[in-house]
């Protein structure tokens, strides 16, 4: 048991410098538990700090500890939920208010042109101090309310006959680009002799 605890602690220490602080993936009303699990797995694997879920249907438990006990989430995330903080909100409005209070900027993702500023994934800059990246519902996509409160909309270019990518796949591709940029930025800061950014959120 002690050996296992030591192994876990060692791994946690190894990955700590690579985690992207102040980066949150936000899911707006996801319907499919398998997608939620895949996103949490991607978030953990890529070193994103947290997942927020807007869950207007109240399908998920309020508390992270309870969520961690939920078999369907533990199974679909291959236990990543044990290691990744997840917070749920009753509405997009509540989530936006919480993010704004904690000085997070939001960007949305969509296969379509949304809002005033649209960017191709790899052409945009994601190194702002605090960033929330929103992903929309499997059939409705992202809401107009969230688009209106966001800096810009990001798209992965599509070259096939289908309209969009699956939610889980999208989070993998988008968060890979964003974490790659933020890690490079953090590394540059470190080399310049400034400490890594600290999470200053008032409440999780
Ligand atoms: C299955 S898609 C939703 C499709 C929906 N009909 C729509 O109009 O957006 C679910 C979510 O995955 C993300 N997504 C899917 N394809 C994308 C793409 N090519 N670029 C950016 N985001 C994408 C968006 O966040 C979208 O809301």
Going from N- to C-terminal start, the domains of the chain cover 19-157+165-191
Nearest protein CA to atom 24 of ligand 1, as residue: 110
For residue 1, the model assigns a pLDDT of 67
Using the 8-state DSSP alphabet, how is residue 193 labeled?
Answer: T
Phi first, then psi: give them for residue 193, nearest 5 degrees: 90, 5
- Our answer on whether the CB atom of 165 is closer than 6 Å to any ligand 1 atom is yes
Nearest protein CA to atom 14 of ligand 1, as residue: 110
For the entire predicted model, the pTM comes to 0.92
For residue 2, the model assigns a pLDDT of 84
Using DSSP, state whether 20 is helix, strand or coil: strand
Assigned token pair, 199: 């999470």
Using DSSP, state whether 119 is helix, strand or coil: strand
The rounded distance, in Å, linking the Cα atoms of 125 and 155 is 13
Give the containing element (helix H, strand E) for 87.
strand 85-89
Assigned token pair, 198: 């600290």
Report the chain (204 residues): mean pLDDT per 10 consecutive residues. Answer: 85 89 97 96 97 96 87 87 93 98 98 97 98 98 98 97 97 98 90 59 46
For residue 78, the model assigns a pLDDT of 85
Residue 89 contacts by C-beta under 8 Å, 6 or more apart in sequence?
52, 53, 54, 55, 95, 98
For residue 187, the model assigns a pLDDT of 85
Pocket test for ligand 1, best of 52, 150, 170, 172 (most atoms within 8 A of CB): 170
For 96-152, write each residue's pLDDT tens digit: 999 999 999 999 999 999 999 999 999 999 999 999 999 999 999 999 999 999 999
Give CATH for domain 19-157+165-191. Answer: 3.40.1280.10
For residue 194, the model assigns a pLDDT of 64
Using DSSP, state whether 17 is helix, strand or coil: helix
Alpha carbon of residue 13 to chain centroid: 22
How far apart are the CA of 167 and the centre of ligand 1, in A?
7
Going by C-alpha positions, the residue among 71, 62, 67, 32 that lies closest to residue 171 is: 32
For 99-112, write each residue's pLDDT tens digit: 999 999 999 999 99
CA torsion sign for 66, 70, 76, 80 is positive
The rounded distance, in Å, linking the Cα atoms of 111 and 141 is 9
């Amino acid at each position: 048991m002690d050996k296992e605890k030591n192994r876990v602690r060692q791994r946690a220490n190894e990955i700590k410098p690579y985690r992207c602080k102040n980066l949150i993936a936000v899911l707006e009303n996801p319907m499919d538990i398998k997608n939620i699990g895949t996103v949490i797995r991607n978030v953990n694997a890529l070193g994103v700090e947290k997942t927020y879920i807007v869950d207007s249907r109240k399908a998920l438990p309020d508390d992270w500890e309870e969520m961690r006990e939920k078999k369907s989430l533990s199974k679909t995330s291959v236990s990543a939920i044990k290691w990744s903080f997840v917070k749920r909100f009753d509405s997009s409005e509540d989530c936006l208010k919480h993010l704004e209070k904690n000085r997070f900027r939001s960007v949305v993702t969509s296969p379509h042109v949304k809002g005033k500023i649209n960017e191709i994934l790899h052409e945009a800059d994601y190194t702002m101090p605090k960033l929330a990246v929103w992903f929309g519902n499997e059939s409705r996509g992202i809401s107009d309310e969230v688009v209106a409160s966001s800096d810009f909309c990001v798209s992965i270019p599509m070259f096939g006959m289908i309209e969009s990518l699956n939610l889980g796949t999208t989070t993998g591709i988008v968060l890979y680009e964003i974490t790659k940029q933020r890690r490079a930025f953090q590394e540059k800061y470190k080399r310049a002799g400034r400490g890594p950014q600290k999470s200053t959120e008032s409440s999780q």
